[in-house]
Amino acid sequence: MTENRGRVSDLQLYRRLLGYVLPYWYLFALSIAGYVIYSLGNVLLADLMQFLLDSLNESEETREGLVSGAAYALLDAGEMTPLEFARIGVPAAMVVLAFTRAMGFFAGTYFMNHVARNLVHQLRGELFNKILLAPSTYYDHHSQGVLISKITYNVEQVTGAATKALKVVVGEGLTVIGLLGYLFYLNWRLSLIFMLVAPCIALVVSVVGKHFRRYSRRIQDSMGDVTQVSNESIGGYKEVRLFGGQQQQGDRFEVASAYNRNQSLKLALVDAMSTPVIQTMLAVALGAMVWFALNPEILSGFSAGSLVAFLTAAGLLGRPIRQVSSVQSVIQRGLAAAEDIFHQLDLEDEPDTGTHAVDRARGDIVFKGLSFVYPGTEQVVLRDINLTIRAGEAVALVGRSGSGKSTLIQLLARFYPAEDGSIALDGVPIADYRLSNLRRQLAMVSQNVTLFHDTVFNNIAYGDLAGASREAVIAACESAHAMEFIDKLPEGLDTVLGDDGAGLSGGQRQRLAIARAILKDAPVLVLDEATSALDNESEHRIQRALDTIMRNRTTIVIAHRLSTVERADRIVVMDSGEIIASGTHAELLAQGGLYAQLYHQEFSD
Ligand SMILES: Nc1ncnc2c1ncn2[C@@H]1O[C@H](COP(=O)(O)OP(=O)(O)OP(=O)(O)O)[C@@H](O)[C@H]1O
Ligand SMILES: [Mg+2]
């Protein structure tokens, strides 16, 4: 699934990512310091060649190198010949330099990882919170798998860029700068040859980078598809088998995975091509340099040692440049992922501008002239709904499937904004409530029960209810007639439920959801097909328990089985998004409309 994201410039991306690094600037600085030491170590190890070679020639220029100069300054050469001095000085310098370089590498790598891991942790948290706060339409338009892969795969791509790539770019980049500086110090004219190929390399890097980014975006979108198909196939494995869908799921997976492979291969192709191209350019530059260096005129300006040091340093340039150019793909993957993550982070949250808050609402609900179309669709789902529910009243909503009953209560819970018409709770428009406060006034058992991978107890005392006493939870379970089966579970209330309550029957799941709603003890209770999966006897028993609970609160019951709504104070009949009748059971039967028709159908069986 490809999205149309607003493209941002790389600079904006870098700047925003840098914002995440700022809190850890001291670690970042330590890391850079470590890499500076590391790259200086690299340069000085090249310089050591001069010390070694010039001392072999017993040449007086042996003191002119950086390392040898320092060695002569630090150690007392006394009567030693250059060779004798080098025998002590070179090994000592080797060990000291290698150790210092290693320490620098350690500090650079470790602290950079520290920064990167913190950055990723922060990003992942922000993305997760963003998704938790996203409006319902966001969930309507994104599949679960795609969202999961954003949190897992995409964030991990940023990690790759932030740890590996940054490490290489900083560590090896500084080495390149250090070596170039050293070359200029030895012979700036010769070094200019390198500067001639630099723009060519930059051009290659930039062109390749654009390709990398494009492929990275596609790879990451296809990862979403791969996750989505896997997610569906795992979650719905029974349907897949019952309907013989293995082939179909397999094909879908194959398509998603093959696309991913193809894009990854394209990326690998460009990656594999770019490094040899850059290496060839470097070799040409190096060759030209040797050609010039061996020119007798220029040669006379070098000692044997400094010439070898120069060529060594030039030769050493190849490896870090290759490394820097080859992490481009990782960087571009990271940037593509960061681009997508930032795009998500910039989306609007569920609107929550209301400030009104009540401790406990009375439960007067008024729908006035409410019409509704789901965002992004055409169909009018609710049409001019006018309905007043007094505090403490029990109202039943009945009507054919798809008539808009669930939608009406979704709007009451503000899962979607009611833009045309209004809904008020206790005389205050629900949009004026603080969202969390409004939802605290509603205890809802929705048509699709969701249970969490946690204990039965924690599933009932969930969210705001966490911290409820054991007695209260048991009482709620008893009212919902759930205790009878909970007691039979291996650990009772402390049994851990499988994914989304796997291991429970449909009716058991519903009873847990009812217990959760009872425990919430909110002034408005909404039951959307809450007992549809229960047998008649259990349903009647729960109905009786609910009668007590409904006594001091507003209740909205939605049910297809009309026998369960007979006792409501008022029954509202909906059809195609409109209220077509309302009254008591007896009144509606006497009217002989849709209600009577549905009722007789139910009881003629
Ligand atoms: N998230 C959504 N996006 C777009 N359309 C939706 C969405 N949810 C429901 N609809 C549409 O809104 C209409 C009313 O759906 P609703 O769920 O309110 O019906 P219902 O009366 O609760 O039906 P049932 O008795 O089967 O639960 C249906 O035509 C449905 O296709
Ligand atoms: Mg419904």
pLDDT digits (tens, 9 = 90+) for 499-525: 888 888 888 999 999 999 999 999 999
Which residue's C-alpha comes closest to atom 2 of ligand 1?
374
pLDDT tens digits along 553-576 = 999 999 888 888 888 899 999 999
**Strand order across the 554-558 sheet:** 442-445, 524-528, 554-558, 394-399, 570-575, 578-583
Assess whether pLDDT exceeds 70 at residue 7.
no
First-last CA distance in the chain: 47
Residue 404 CA to ligand 2 centre (angstroms): 7
- DSSP per-residue codes, 427-452: TEEGGGB-HHHHHHTEEEE-SS----
Quote the CATH superfamily of domain 352-440+558-605.
Answer: P-loop containing nucleotide triphosphate hydrolases (3.40.50.300)
* Closest to 417 in 3D by CA, of 426, 403, 425, 407: 407
Residue 528 CA to ligand 2 centre (angstroms): 7
pLDDT tens digits along 295-321 = 888 777 777 788 888 888 888 888 888
Question: Which pLDDT does position 3 carry in this prediction?
Answer: 42
Ligand in closest contact with the CA of 577: 1
Assess whether pLDDT exceeds 60 at residue 368.
yes
- Our measurement of the distance from residue 32's CA atom to the centroid of its chain's CA atoms, rounded to an integer in Å, reads 28
Ligand in closest contact with the CA of 560: 1
DSSP state of 426: T
404 CA closest ligand 1 atom index = 18
Question: Which pLDDT does position 605 carry in this prediction?
Answer: 62
CA distance 419 to 431: 10
408 CA closest ligand 1 atom index = 18
Question: CA torsion, points 93, 175, 183, 194, in degrees to nearest 10?
Answer: 160
Report, as an integer, the average pLDDT of 56-74.
Answer: 79
Ligand in closest contact with the CA of 573: 1
Which residue's C-alpha comes closest to atom 7 of ligand 1?
374
- DSSP per-residue codes, 23-83: GGHHHHHHHHHHHHHHHHHHHHHHHHHHHHHHHHTT-GGGGGSHHHHHHHHHS--TT--HH
* The listed CATH number (1.10.10.410, 3.40.50.620, 1.20.120.420, 1.20.1560.10) that belongs to domain 10-345: 1.20.1560.10
Count of CA atoms in the C-beta half-sphere (13 A) of 592: 0
Which residue's C-alpha comes closest to atom 20 of ligand 1?
402
Ligand in closest contact with the CA of 380: 1
Ligand 1 proximal residues by C-beta, below 6 Å:
140, 374, 377, 381, 399, 401-407, 447
Question: Which pLDDT does position 4 carry in this prediction?
Answer: 43
Q: Residue 246: which residues within 8 A CB-CB, separation 6 or more?
A: 240
Which residue's C-alpha comes closest to atom 16 of ligand 1?
404
Which residue's C-alpha comes closest to atom 30 of ligand 1?
402
What residues are neighbours of ligand 2 (ion), with CB under 5 Å? Answer: 406, 447
400 CA closest ligand 1 atom index = 25
Q: Residue 57: which residues within 8 A CB-CB, separation 6 or more?
A: 303, 304, 305
- Quote the tokens at residue 489: 């579970």
pLDDT tens digits along 243-262 = 999 999 999 999 999 999 99
Residue 401 CA to ligand 2 centre (angstroms): 7
**DSSP-derived pairing of the beta strands 442-445 and 524-528:** parallel
For 123-151, the three-class secondary structure string (H helix, E strand, C coil) is HHHHHHHHHHHCCHHHHHHCCHHHHHHHH
Task: Assess contact for 349 and 130: CB atoms under 8 A.
Answer: yes
Q: Residue 171: which residues within 8 A CB-CB, separation 6 or more?
A: 35, 38, 39, 105, 108, 109
CA distance 38 to 172: 9
Which residue's C-alpha comes closest to atom 1 of ligand 1?
140
Question: Which pLDDT does position 61 carry in this prediction?
Answer: 66
In 3-state terms, what secondary structure has residue 305? Answer: helix
Question: Which pLDDT does position 42 carry in this prediction?
Answer: 85
How does residue 2 score in pLDDT terms, banded at 50, 70 and 90?
A: very low
Which residue's C-alpha comes closest to atom 3 of ligand 1?
374
Ligand in closest contact with the CA of 561: 1
Task: Assess contact for 375 and 417: CB atoms under 8 A.
Answer: no
Residue 541 CA to ligand 2 centre (angstroms): 23
Question: Which pLDDT does position 1 carry in this prediction?
Answer: 37
pLDDT tens digits along 394-438 = 999 999 999 999 999 999 999 999 889 999 999 999 999 999 999
CA distance 335 to 329: 10
Residue 404 CA to ligand 1 centre (angstroms): 6
Report, as an integer, the average pLDDT of 70-80.
Answer: 83
* Closest to 321 in 3D by CA, of 180, 188, 182, 207: 180
Ligand 1, from 143, 378, 381, 449: best to mutate by most atoms within 8 Å of Cβ? 381
E runs forming strands in 350-440: 365-373, 380-389, 394-399, 420-425, 428-429
- Our measurement of the distance from residue 104's CA atom to the centroid of its chain's CA atoms, rounded to an integer in Å, reads 33
* Closest to 184 in 3D by CA, of 80, 296, 288, 43: 43
405 CA closest ligand 1 atom index = 21
Q: 514 or 53: whose pLDDT is higher?
A: 514
In 3-state terms, what secondary structure has residue 579? Answer: strand
* Closest to 582 in 3D by CA, of 389, 447, 424, 421: 389
Which residue's C-alpha comes closest to atom 25 of ligand 1?
401
Percent of the chain past pLDDT 70, that is, above it, reads 98
Ligand 1, from 138, 140, 141, 374: best to mutate by most atoms within 8 Å of Cβ? 374
Residue 399 CA to ligand 2 centre (angstroms): 10
**For residue 524, what are the β-bridge partners?**
442, 554
Question: CA torsion, points 364, 369, 375, 380, in degrees to nearest 10?
Answer: 120
Which residue's C-alpha comes closest to atom 26 of ligand 1?
401
- Quote the tokens at residue 425: 């709770």
Q: What residue segments make up the domains of the chain, in order of their start?
A: 10-345, 352-440+558-605
Ligand in closest contact with the CA of 398: 1
Count of CA atoms in the C-beta half-sphere (13 A) of 462: 17
Question: Which pLDDT does position 363 carry in this prediction?
Answer: 92
Question: Which pLDDT does position 134 carry in this prediction?
Answer: 93
Phi then psi for 566, rounded to 5 degrees? -50, -40
In 3-state terms, what secondary structure has residue 192? Answer: helix
- Quote the tokens at residue 41: 């170590």
Assess whether pLDDT exceeds 80 at residue 603.
no
Which residue's C-alpha comes closest to atom 29 of ligand 1?
402
Task: Assess contact for 229 and 250: CB atoms under 8 A.
Answer: no
Ligand 1, from 141, 372, 397, 405: best to mutate by most atoms within 8 Å of Cβ? 405
447 CA closest ligand 1 atom index = 27
Residue 444 CA to ligand 2 centre (angstroms): 13
Residue 351 CA to ligand 1 centre (angstroms): 22
* Closest to 55 in 3D by CA, of 312, 306, 296, 293: 306
Task: Assess contact for 367 and 408: CB atoms under 8 A.
Answer: yes
Task: Assess contact for 149 and 224: CB atoms under 8 A.
Answer: yes
- Quote the tokens at residue 394: 């029990």
In 3-state terms, what secondary structure has residue 378? Answer: coil
Residue 431 CA to ligand 2 centre (angstroms): 23
Assess whether pLDDT exceeds 70 at residue 83.
yes
pLDDT tens digits along 139-148 = 999 888 889 9
Ligand 1, from 373, 401, 406: best to mutate by most atoms within 8 Å of Cβ? 406
Residue 251 CA to ligand 2 centre (angstroms): 33
**For residue 496, what are the β-bridge partners?**
455
Average pLDDT score over the chain: 89
